[in-house]
Amino acid sequence: MAAPTSEARAHSGPSYTTLLDFTHLGPLTRESAVKIRTVLALTTATALTLGLSACGGGGGGDTTSASPGAAAGGSTLTYWASNQGTSLDDDKKQLTPVLDAFQKQTGIKVNLEVIGWNDLQTRIQTAVTSGQGPDVVNIGNTWAASLQATGAFLPFDAKAMEAIGGKDKFVETALKTGGKEGEDPTSVPLYGLAYGLYYNKAMFKAAGLTPPTTWEEMVADAKKLTNPSTNVYGMSLAAGSYTENNHFAFINSQQNGGNFFDASGQPTFDTDANVQGIVRYLDLMQTHKVVNPSNAQYDNGTKSVADFSAKKAAMIINQNNADASIIANGMKADEYGVVPFPAPADAKNNTASHVAGINLSVFKNTKNQDAALKFVKFMTDASTQKTLGKPFSSLPVLKGETPVFTENAEEAKTFQEIYNTRSAPLPLVPAEDQFESTVGKAMNAMFAKIASGGTVSAADVKAAMKDAQDQVAASS
């Protein structure tokens, strides 16, 4: 930045006094004018340098590069955790002792930031774009293939897998969510979740019903338990949440033997199996009328949980982390039971859930790859899984472990069984995120139409799926 000063001094000989007129300040010599000028130039230059370097350096300071000269083994990691517990602060409280134990064991310090779900994807996007992010990050496991496509994450090849304890320790279906099939995964499972059908024991008993084992039984039960005049319905759905809706499009399509992407990764949204699966789900509100039309406005799962806890709905289909909210809403643990979400009697297969949950990824450009892998190993260790399984209501992602999130052994067994044997991963293709948003939002609109008195036919669903499919094709 010193260049303009000296250069300018060299060729600005004749016009000292014409540049700035300081006569009103009193007698000024040529020399003092030069001095003032130089001072001005220098201050400007300094100010600019400071300003520019501040711009350039901003945001980088919070990453690991800050402490290169730390003591042996004393490197620092930055870890972005997703919000799993009841609040960001609570998560921090739960994770801090775990991270302290890790530091004690390895000497590696972990800077923790817990990020809410609404911000997490944007934050990861920014980190990928700018190359300035954390070392280790939690991702929703359904994003795995999409995020893998960015190339920003470290593939767990044989060597990296070895470093975190070998791929054999994970439940097979869980590890499948790590990335695209046939490639080294860029994420490994951390917390397992699965859908289950929660039912209110007292309401079922009063109506003389037993928990359903087929879709048909579920609908029949729900009809018996529905009484709009008292505002009680057989089921409650998060029908206004595109993330929930696309999961049920997927699960119902799986039961029909359908797929949303073909082997080459091209979208096949409007096949009969998919359309019929979606119609079946919509019909809970449309034909069977066992769902309160208000549910079309429920934009996240906690609202149906609230209805269930308030005994306004006899059944909900939620992931096992609903336990915490159900109990927080005042229902006792022995007042509800869980069975797998049932498939129709003539279903092609009995998929009851997608493999839901949270995965752990390492940014490829981390300066502490060894430390990061050590951390991943630690987080996926049996003991850490046990510690965090309860507060975060998660299923262990490791073979041979039992869930600790509930005291109810039967419920724990049901969920672990669904997770290990009756769940399939959402499409493991880069366009998975677009499947979620296009199909899920189309279903939002269908539920909205049904709720406000319209009808949605199979042909309408097919047309909407064609639109969604074209959207995905157009933007890839």
Chain residues in the site for another protein (CB under 8 A)? 4, 7-8, 12, 14-15, 18-21, 37, 40-41, 43-44, 46-48, 50-51, 55, 122, 125, 128-129, 131, 146-147, 149-152, 240-243, 294, 296-297, 299, 430, 433-434, 437, 444-445, 448-449, 451-453, 467, 470-471, 474-476
Question: Residue 408 Cβ, how far from another protein at the closest point, in Å?
Answer: 32
Question: Residue 299 Cβ, how far from another protein at the closest point, in Å?
Answer: 4
Spatial contact of 277 and 245, defined as CB atoms under 8 Å apart:
no
Spatial contact of 245 and 444, defined as CB atoms under 8 Å apart:
yes
Question: Residue 451 Cβ, how far from another protein at the closest point, in Å?
Answer: 6
Q: Which is nearer to another protein, 101 or 149 (CB)?
A: 149
- Of the candidates 101, 73, 193, 137, the one whose C-alpha atom is nearest the C-alpha of residue 378 is 101
Distance CA 357, CA 188 (A): 11
Q: Which is nearer to another protein, 67 or 126 (CB)?
A: 126
Question: 3-state SS string over 71-94?
Answer: CCCCCEEEEEEECCCCCHHHHHHH
Q: Which is nearer to another protein, 80 or 143 (CB)?
A: 143
Distance CA 319, CA 197 (A): 9
Going by C-beta distance under 8 Å and a sequence separation of 6 or more, which residues neighbour residue 245?
238, 239, 439, 440, 443, 444, 447
Two structure tokens written together for 412: 């724990």
Distance CA 258, CA 272 (A): 8
Q: Which is nearer to another protein, 93 or 311 (CB)?
A: 311
SS3 label, residue 198: strand
Q: Which is nearer to another protein, 55 or 72 (CB)?
A: 55
Measured on CA atoms in the order 68, 69, 75, 77, is the torsion positive or negative?
Answer: negative
Q: Which is nearer to another protein, 182 or 208 (CB)?
A: 182
Question: Residue 400 Cβ, how far from another protein at the closest point, in Å?
Answer: 36
Q: Which is nearer to another protein, 61 or 453 (CB)?
A: 453
Burial 115-147, CB ≥16 within 10 A → b, else e: beeeebbebbeebbeeebbbbbbbbbbbbbbbb
Q: Which is nearer to another protein, 129 or 266 (CB)?
A: 129
Q: Which is nearer to another protein, 338 or 465 (CB)?
A: 465
Question: Residue 159 Cβ, how far from another protein at the closest point, in Å?
Answer: 23
Two structure tokens written together for 458: 């199979």
Q: Which is nearer to another protein, 99 or 296 (CB)?
A: 296
Helix (H) or strand (E) run with residue 199 in it: strand 195-200
SS3 label, residue 261: strand
Distance CA 332, CA 156 (A): 42
Q: Which is nearer to another protein, 91 or 307 (CB)?
A: 307
Looking at residue 422, the DSSP 8-state letter turns out to be S
Distance CA 380, CA 386 (A): 10
Residue 363 C-alpha from the chain's centroid? 16
Measured on CA atoms in the order 259, 263, 268, 273, is the torsion positive or negative?
Answer: negative
Q: Which is nearer to another protein, 349 or 476 (CB)?
A: 476
Question: Residue 304 Cβ, how far from another protein at the closest point, in Å?
Answer: 13
Question: Residue 217 Cβ, how far from another protein at the closest point, in Å?
Answer: 29
Question: Residue 57 Cβ, how far from another protein at the closest point, in Å?
Answer: 15
Burial 270-279, CB ≥16 within 10 A → b, else e: bbebbbbbbb
SS3 label, residue 337: strand
Residue 404 carries which side chain, given as an amino acid letter? V
Question: Residue 261 Cβ, how far from another protein at the closest point, in Å?
Answer: 15
Question: Residue 337 Cβ, how far from another protein at the closest point, in Å?
Answer: 27
Paired with 193 in beta bridges are: 356
Question: Residue 115 Cβ, how far from another protein at the closest point, in Å?
Answer: 16
Question: Residue 54 Cβ, how far from another protein at the closest point, in Å?
Answer: 9
- The residue to which tokens 């711009």 are assigned: 55
Two structure tokens written together for 282: 């919509």
How many other C-beta atoms lie within 10 A of the C-beta of residue 330?
10
Spatial contact of 244 and 452, defined as CB atoms under 8 Å apart:
no
